[in-house]
Structure 1
Amino acid sequence: MAGNSSIEWTEATWNPVTGCTKVSEGCRNCYALRMANRLHAMGNPRYKNGFNVTLHHDLIDLPRSWKKPRKIFVNSMSDLFHKDVPLEFIQQVFQTMNETPHHTYQILTKRPERLLKLSPSLNFTPNIWMGTSVENEQVKSRIDLLRQVPAQIRFLSCEPLIGPLDNLDLTNIHWVIVGGESGPGARPMKIEWVRSIRDQCHQQNVAFFFKQWGGVQKHRTGRILDNKTYDEYPTLVTT
């Protein structure tokens, strides 16, 4: 449910919510769904409801016990802004993040419309990085919604990247992660799509992180792009 993570752009995961529902084409081969089904079959009590949205109240305070600063991916097995997660619960999660400034929290949602609606009721302290998933042209509107959220660091996760993303407006976006789909049924990602996003990031002074090429066996394809590993992170600028 929590602990060290093998995800390249973070250090730990924290899952006060598990379970989700599919909202766009990027969800087709959801890794979290596969993992939840496996854990359910193994009898893991956290997944007694399978992939139905489940709140874990006993995990809200978990990061308070982690003394060493970490980058923490919030809800790698869910979406904090799913309609079935009450505002009051989200506020409790935010309170923990607000009161543990030694950690950096990375929240990723495919529901930026609800994020924006609720944002006046949330406290976006500088240690909270807020992101949205943009897998193809059909969901580029998510960027405009994220841009209106009062987080000091806003980022895009273009993973799984399943189509080109040209002519991106990265105004007030600080970080872009790109990755290919992995696991059973993984859809291919073209190198020109990745190069285009990388070049757009550099032209607009946005940090670029290339996570993986993906594929059925992602360990075979690695994460080298044009003979280089891209591990850029955003810089927090206070005004």
Structure 2
Amino acid sequence: MNLTKIEWCDYTWNPITGCTNNCEYCYARKIARRFPKKFNGFKPTFYENRLIEPYNTPPPKKRKPWIKKAFPNTSLTFTVSMGDMFAAPDFLWINKILGVFWDCNPYGKDLRLHFDHEFHIFQVLTKFPSNLWHYLPHDNIPMNLWLGVTVNFNKELPKLDCLTIHRRGIRFVSFEPIFEEVKLSLLPRWLDWIIIGGMTGSRKMNCETNPEMRSWIENIINFADKHDIPVFIKDNAKYPEKIRKFPYGGEI
């Protein structure tokens, strides 16, 4: 596990790396191109030796204050940041990772508090949400798994319906990078969290380089406020106001 500068989590954890989606703006793929041996050419790969890492990894001593305020005793762990957990899934891979989720769940399998391991909330983003229905146990998904879908264009919004498989936990969308004004009529009201970000690198896209993005973000914020959905805006969006809200409360 690695400490990360990503604003909405403490750690990244990669028991799987690689993806088959070929997004031209994927930061993980760019890193993998620089270090092809380290990431097996970005082919989906499982690293069983990394499964032990969350058990003995406590919240970092120096935490982002907005995370510490919201989750003082639980680490936020972005799982498979260097790929997509559901790009080319294998039942064995998924089941072993789910076992770690359960073991590090602050509520345990029977929803009673236990203290056997360090506590983690595992945040998973996917571009392949239809695979959730094939590889997750519909009635036995741990509550400390936050499931999210990356959406860059309005045509991808219907994919969010696949998140309804997760009836007990947090379901969220990440508009990063956000490329167009979101059709709010297609955005589910049952979402638990919305992340918004810009695009970095040589093709920067944010509220400074693309001023109309500010109105796109404001529209999402207004929608979210109306439906009590917390919003987290990343710094790379260059939005003038700091908005860093989480499910279950906590904000800066």
- Residues 21 and 87, structure 2, Cα contact 8 Å, conserved in 1: no
Alpha-carbon distance, 1:176 to partner: 0.1
- Residues 16 and 56, structure 1, Cα contact 8 Å, conserved in 2: yes
CA distance in 1, matches of 2:178, 2:151: 8
For residues 206 and 185 of structure 1, do their structure 2 counterparts lie closer, same or farther at Cα, with a shift above 3 Å needed? same
Q: 1:100 pairs with 100, 104, 110, which one?
A: 104
Note if 1:72 corresponds to 2:77: yes
Q: Which residue of the partner structure matches residue 133 of structure 1?
A: 150
Pairs within 5 Å for 1:115-130: 115-120=132-137, 123-130=140-147
Alpha-carbon distance, 1:117 to partner: 2.5
Q: Which residue of the partner structure matches residue 61 of structure 1?
A: 52
**1:120-165 CA distance string (max 9 Å, x none):** 3673222111111111101001111113333411111011101111
Q: Which runs of 5+ in 1 are unaligned?
A: 215-222
Note if 1:177 corresponds to 2:190: no
Give 1:152's aligned amino acid: G
Q: Which residue of the partner structure matches residue 158 of structure 1?
A: 175
Q: Secondary structure at the match of 1:46?
A: coil
CA distance in 2, matches of 1:121, 1:22: 25
For residues 13 and 151 of structure 1, do their structure 2 counterparts lie closer, same or farther at Cα, with a shift above 3 Å needed? farther
Q: Secondary structure at the match of 2:234?
A: strand
Identity within the alignment, %: 28
The CA RMSD over aligned residues, in Å, is 1.9
Q: 1:91 pairs with 67, 92, 95, which one?
A: 95
TM value normalised by structure 2: 0.79
- Residues 28 and 81, structure 2, Cα contact 8 Å, conserved in 1: yes
Q: 2:244 pairs with 224, 228, 231, which one?
A: 231
Alpha-carbon distance, 1:193 to partner: 1.1
**1:181-233 CA distance string (max 9 Å, x none):** 1113344552111111111111111000101345xxxxxxxx443xx200000
Alpha-carbon distance, 1:4 to partner: 0.5
CA distance in 1, matches of 2:144, 2:97: 13
Q: Which residue of the partner structure matches residue 63 of structure 2?
A: none
CA distance in 2, matches of 1:67, 1:10: 13
Note if 1:11 corresponds to 2:24: no
- Residues 22 and 28, structure 1, Cα contact 8 Å, conserved in 2: no
For residues 56 and 81 of structure 1, do their structure 2 counterparts lie closer, same or farther at Cα, with a shift above 3 Å needed? same
- Residues 132 and 156, structure 1, Cα contact 8 Å, conserved in 2: yes
- Residues 32 and 38, structure 2, Cα contact 8 Å, conserved in 1: no
Give 1:64's aligned amino acid: Y
Q: Which residue of the partner structure matches residue 220 of structure 1?
A: none
For residues 205 and 121 of structure 1, do their structure 2 counterparts lie closer, same or farther at Cα, with a shift above 3 Å needed? closer
CA distance in 1, matches of 2:46, 2:25: 23
Give 1:170's aligned amino acid: P
Q: Which runs of 5+ in 2 are unaligned?
A: 60-73, 106-118
- Residues 129 and 151, structure 1, Cα contact 8 Å, conserved in 2: no
CA distance in 2, matches of 1:229, 1:82: 33
Alpha-carbon distance, 1:174 to partner: 0.4
Give 1:56's aligned amino acid: Y
